[in-house]
Structure 1
Amino acid sequence: MKDASLDLSPLANAYLERRDDMRRFFLARLGGRGDVEDLVQELYLKVQAVAHEPVENPPAYLYRLASNLMLDRLKQARRSTARETEWRRTHHASVGALDISDTPDAESAVIARQRLEKLSSALETLAPLTQRVFRLHKFEGLTHAETAERVGISRSAVEKHISLALGHLVSKVGR
C-alpha cells in the first residue's frame, strides 16, 4: 500500500503532523472560545489553497498562516461588535442597564396593521371631499388654511370636514 503522505505537499504534511499543535496554538491565544475547531479546519483550507507553491520552511509558514488567520478572525469579530454596538446605540433606548427596543413586537405590529386597514376602509366610506380634506391635513401635514386654499373651500369648512371625518373614524374603529 502506498503512503498517502507522499502525494501531499510539504506544507500539507506539516499541517497533518502538527494539527494538534495548531489546535493548542489557537486555544492558547483565544482561550476556550468555540471557534478553535473552525480555525483549524479553515487553516487546512488555506494550506490546500497554497499547496502548489514552493515553501522553504513549511512549519514556519504554517504558523504564519495560523497567526494571520487568527488575527483576521479577531479583527472580523471586533468589526462585528462595533457594528452591533453602533446599531444598538441608534436603534435602542436604555434605561439604566435595561435595553428598550424602539420597534414593536410582532403582535403589536399585526394589531397596528389591522387597525390601519380598518381606518383606511372607514375613510373610504366618507364623501370624496371629506376624504380629500382629511388626507391633505392629516397625511400630508397641511394646515387648515393651506388645505382650504388647496381645495377651494373656507377654513371653517375644512375644520368641519376634519371633525366629521374624525368622528366617523372613531365610531368605526374606536380609539
Structure 2
Amino acid sequence: MTALDPATTTSGLSQLYRDLRSDLLRFLVARLGDPGEAEEVVQDLYLRIHALAEGPVANGRAYLYRAAQNLAFDKVRERRRRLTREGQWVGLHHPSSPGTEPIDRRADAETMMVDREEATALFAAIATLPPGAGRVFRLHKLDGVPHADIAHQLGISRSGVEKHLAVAMAHLRRAMIDR
C-alpha cells in the first residue's frame, strides 16, 4: 500500500513504516540532534504502530511523520526534565557543601572515545569533499576566511562560495549520519 491510499490499515501502516524508516530516522535526527535518541524514537514509533487496533488511517505517511514528531517532542520534554532534575541534584550536592566530595567535571572515558571517533569520521568526511567545496570549506570553516575574501581569492562570486559551502555541509551531514 502507498501513502496515498485513502484507507491505510495498520498492517499497511507497518509496511509504510518499513518503507519510510530511514527517512523517518533522518527526520528525527534533524529534530533531536542525536542519532541515538532518534533511533529510540523510531523504535517507539514502531511499537506504537503495532499497538494500534486494526483500522483505517486516512494518510499513512502524514500519520507516521506526525506521530514521529510527537514522540520527538516527548523526548525533548523528557530531556529538559532530566536536565532540570540533574541541575537541582548538583545544586544540592555542590562541592562547597560540608562533607561532600568535589564533582569530577571531566568527561568520562566513553564520552572521550566517542568524541575521538566522531572527530576521526569528520576528518575523513572532510577529506572526501569535492575539490571546490573542500577548498571553500577549509578556507571558511577551518581558516576563518570571510566569504568575500574567499570569493576574491578563488575568483568566484560570493554566491559561488555559498553554494560550495552548502554542498560541503550537505556532504558532511550525510557522511556523519550514514556512518
TM-score by length of 2: 0.47
Give the structure with higher Rg (CA): 1
- Name which structure has the greater RCO, CA cutoff 8 Å, separation 6+: 2
Structure with greater strand share of residues: 1
TM-score by length of 1: 0.48
